[in-house]
Chains A and B, each alone.
Chain A
Amino acid sequence: EAQVTQNPRYLITVTGKKLTVTCSQNMNHEYMSWYRQDPGLGLRQIYYSMNVEVTDKGDVPEGYKVSRKEKRNFPLILESPSPNQTSLYFCASGGAGGGYTFGSGTRLTVV
């Protein structure tokens, strides 16, 4: 089954404790992206990757890092999380021709 797998689904952490949210796709897509979704602000792009070892900043990259060492994986890293990074996060992969598939989301709370 074609899918994008995100983990964990829910995470509560404390300020400053490094964390990683994983994202994996099994569709051999070159393009992958991370979004955060906050009430009233919609989906805002954090980082995206057009291919292995190619990553670019989206609209709200501050406080986040990503890596794309292999095509299927695109982890999101928060080196020192802060409460303003409390949000719902989505990973997506795909391309315009075939559409974009989203992971099931990660609800992160930073206290």
Chain B
Amino acid sequence: GQNIDQPTEMTATEGAIVQINCTYQTSGFNGLFWYQQHAGEAPTFLSYNVLDGLEEKGRFSSFLSRSKGYSYLLLKELQMKDSASYLCAVTLDNTDKLIFGTGTRLQVFP
């Protein structure tokens, strides 16, 4: 079976840094996505990691360790608008099938 785990909820303060972890156990692995989703809206793409290491994109960075089945999303200089759910998703070997974790709801407080 496929298993993708993330914390259910996290809270943080405006201006701070937060790290959202994702662990996965899947039959095969191609790459890992992070999506942001505001309540009732469509998920929007944040990052895609295929190789081990850190990918930085503005205030957001994503890290992948394939050997450990582990990824994290790092959000810096948090803003109120970053309050949203963050979804970890995995694509399997040689397919485009995208499987999601249950998401982490982040609340940013002033």
Residues of A within 8 A of B (CB): 30-31, 33, 35, 40-45, 48, 50, 88, 90, 92, 94-96, 99-105, 107
Mask: chain B, 18-36; 1 = CB below 8 Å from A; 0 = not: 0000000000001101000
Name B's A-contacting residues (CB within 8 A).
Answer: 30-31, 33, 40-45, 48, 50, 87, 89, 91, 95-103
Question: Contacts A43-B87, A100-B33, A100-B45 known; A95 to B101 CB distance under 8 Å?
Answer: no
B41 & A42 in contact (Cβ 8 Å cutoff): no
* Beta-carbon contact of B42 and A105 below 8 Å: yes
User: What's the least CB distance linking A94 to chain B, in Å?
Assistant: 7
Asked if B41 and A96 sit within 8 Å, CB to CB, the answer is no
Chain B neighbourhood of A42, CB < 8 A: 87, 100-103
Most buried by A among B44, B50, B89, B96: B96
Alpha-carbon distance between A26 and B97 when the two chains are bound, in angstroms: 20
Do the beta carbons of B43 and A96 come within 8 Å of each other? Answer: no
Q: Tell me which of B40, B95, B96, B101 contacts A105 (CB under 8 A).
A: B40
Candidates A40, A43, A44, A94; contact of B96 at CB < 8 Å: A94
Residue from A92, A96, A102 within 8 A of B91 (CB atoms) = A96
Question: How far apart sit A41 and B87, CA to CA, in the bound complex (Å)?
Answer: 12
Query: Are the CB atoms of B33 and A95 closer together than 8 Å?
Result: no
Chain A to chain B contacts (Cβ below 8 Å), 18 pairs: A31-B96, A42-B87, A42-B100, A42-B101, A43-B100, A43-B103, A44-B100, A45-B99, A45-B100, A50-B96, A88-B40, A99-B33, A99-B45, A100-B98, A101-B45, A104-B41, A105-B41, A105-B42
Interface contact B42-A104, CB-CB below 8 Å: yes
Closest B residue by C-beta to A50: B96
Assembly CA distance A33 to B98 (angstroms): 9
Task: Give the nearest-CB partner of A40 in chain B.
Answer: B102
- Asked if residues B97 and A48 are in contact (CB atoms below 8 Å), the reply is yes
Partner of A41, one of B42, B45, B89, B102: B102
Q: Select which of B31, B41, B98, B99 is within 8 A of A92 by beta carbon.
A: B98
Are B96 and A96 in contact, with the CB atoms below 8 A?
yes
| Cα–Cα, bound, A41→B4 (Å) | 12
